[in-house]
């Protein structure tokens, strides 16, 4: 049996849901279907997660499964097995961005890093430094790049955006790559 479970209608997870959940718990596990709509629903809270004190974890289910079918087939323990492997929302978002790129080439790794800028910008404030540093290490590892290269790229992207880094959604990275790209390509090739 699963205790303290709440379900949304389909993938309709909103800021209002988090407002309510924030009153009753410290951690939320999002478990949606393992299809594109489910992934999109799990990523939606990234726009407002930092307005609440609740920690957001994402449960990744096997392809073709949804939370109900998983519990139906294997019981609560089957679901808990996946819940135990849940990852923080920002880690999940960065991983999905990276998985969406062909990282076998330097240009593909560059695109993946560009895609991670708005995610990392969500934790750019000083009080989020430990979270940011951990996320930068994970992104560097997934891209098989030196941490220093990723750090320089993110700093330059924030500086060139002309906006405070916390607002990082939709950051465009123009000519900054001329400087960072040389260093990244030197290291990667």
Our CA dihedral for 1, 20, 97, 10, rounded to 10 degrees, sits at 60
Strand ranges of the sheet holding 87-88, from the earlier edge strand across to the other edge: 27-30, 55-58, 87-88
pLDDT value, residue 182:
62
CA atoms of 132 and 135, how far apart (whole Å): 5
pLDDT value, residue 133:
94
pLDDT value, residue 134:
96
pLDDT value, residue 34:
84
Mean pLDDT, contiguous 10-residue spans, the chain (189 residues):
68 84 90 89 90 91 87 90 95 96 91 91 89 95 92 80 46 50 62
pLDDT value, residue 170:
41
Please answer whether residues 129 and 85 qualify as being in contact, where contact means their C-beta atoms are separated by less than 8 angstroms.
no
pLDDT value, residue 124:
83
pLDDT value, residue 97:
95
Our CA dihedral for 180, 181, 187, 188, rounded to 10 degrees, sits at 140
């Amino acid at each position: 049996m699963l205790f303290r479970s709440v379900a949304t209608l389909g993938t309709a997870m909103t800021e209002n849901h988090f407002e309510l959940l924030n009153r009753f718990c410290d951690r939320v596990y999002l478990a949606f279907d393992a299809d594109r709509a489910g992934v999109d629903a799990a990523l939606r809270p990234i726009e407002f997660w930092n307005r609440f004190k609740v920690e957001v974890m994402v449960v990744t289910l096997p392809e073709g499964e949804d939370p109900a079918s998983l519990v139906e087939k294997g019981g609560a323990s089957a679901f808990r097995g996946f819940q135990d492997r849940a990852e923080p929302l920002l880690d999940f978002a960065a991983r999905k961005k990276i998985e969406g790129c062909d990282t076998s080439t330097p240009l593909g790794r560059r695109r993946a890093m560009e895609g991670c800028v708005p995610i990392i910008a969500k934790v750019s404030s000083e009080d989020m430094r430990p979270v940011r540093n951990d996320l930068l290490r994970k992104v560097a590892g997934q891209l098989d790049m030196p941490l220093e290269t990723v750090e320089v790229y993110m700093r330059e992207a924030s500086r060139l955006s002309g906006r405070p880094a916390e607002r990082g959604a939709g950051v465009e990275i123009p000519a900054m790559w001329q400087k960072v790209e040389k260093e990244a390509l030197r290291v990667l090739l």
